[in-house]
Amino acid sequence: MIPLVPLAAVAAGAITTTYTVAIAREAKRPRRATYAWALAHGVPASPGELPGVRDWREGSTVLQATGTAPTARHVPPSARSIVLPWWLVEGHGTGAMLLIHGWGRSRWDSLRRAPWLLGHAASIVMPDLRGHGEAPGTTSIGHSDHLDLDQVIVEAFNGTASSTAIEGGITLVGHSMGAMVAARLAALLAERGTPARRLVLMAPYDSLIVPMANRLRARGLPAGPFAATAAWWLARGEEPLHRTLARVQCPVMVLGGALDVVAAPLDVVRATAPHDAFIDPEIDHANVGVEGTASRDALHEFLSRT
């Protein structure tokens, strides 16, 4: 007769491992928000459907392997063939702007935030990050996307009215995971001696465990040690946002929502201190930077004076 206690321990271990692996796999392979997603959610299907857009074009950037010399022999060909699609939209302001979507979203979701920004940039680039939208591969969950976007901005803004403005500082705007990416890109530019003009963080969080655990709880699923283990596995060596912001050399604006259960107000404040966070009392995670008169006014004031 097989002892029941050891058998139960084995079964519990197998269930725990399977659940943790499932959490990590979902994080690396989110559902795609593409053209069909835009139609299903009533989102504009292209920049041309946004009021106030003067002109726009679609492009893509073939990435070199990040962190490695492009000509390195040991880099597999597949690592040099990742293509990130993007839109470039002409706005009514000055300078260049990069608008970065969050986890599980895409450049179609960025279109929801573009109307607040059109008056503050001559050109706005909205890319799909790896593993999102129409970009191939799996997501790094914000860990190395800033290296990809470092290549995108050079190619996307080349030959535009904002190409020379990049040298004077590009405006970086990111939502959720995209906020982490924007901050890391701002820190990279600062270390290079070409700091960003300004940085806007919408619904940011300090580290991966925060949204991973909160999303599970919002779905009525256990988080506990499972999310912590999956986050540690996926984000080993990840620098928390508050440390990244210490390396940023530009004005920072932080927006959050009081109804946000993914990046809750307290999480936002802790992640971005000592920068002041504007918490809109009526906004949830998905709509930070999309809805809210108070949020919009605060953002316009910041962009107008920086």
What's the pLDDT tens digit per position in 47-60?
Answer: 999 998 989 999 99
SS3 219: coil
Asked whether the beta carbons of 178 and 205 are under 8 A apart, the reply is: no
Residue 165 scores a pLDDT above 60: no
Asked whether the beta carbons of 83 and 136 are under 8 A apart, the reply is: yes
pLDDT at 235: 81
Task: Tell me the CA distances in angstroms from 156 to 4, 24, 122, 192, 199, one per residue in order.
Answer: 62, 32, 13, 20, 19
Task: Measure the CA dihedral 192/196/201/207, to 10°.
Answer: 0
pLDDT at 159: 65
Asked whether the beta carbons of 204 and 180 are under 8 A apart, the reply is: yes
Asked whether the beta carbons of 91 and 119 are under 8 A apart, the reply is: yes
Domain that holds residue 201: 4-305
pLDDT in tens, 88-147: 999 999 999 999 999 999 999 999 999 999 999 999 999 999 999 999 999 999 999 999
pLDDT at 116: 97
pLDDT at 158: 81
Residue 237 scores a pLDDT above 90: no
At residue 126's C-alpha, the angle toward residues 121 and 132, to 5°, is 160
Number of domains in the chain: 1
Which residues, at least 6 apart from 45, have a Cβ–Cβ distance to it below 8 Å? 35, 38, 39, 108
Asked whether the CA dihedral 184, 116, 171, 167 is positive or negative, the reply is positive
**CATH assignment at residue 207:** 3.40.50.1820
pLDDT in tens, 78-90: 445 799 999 999 9
- Is residue 238 very low, low, confident or very high in pLDDT (cuts 50, 70, 90)? confident
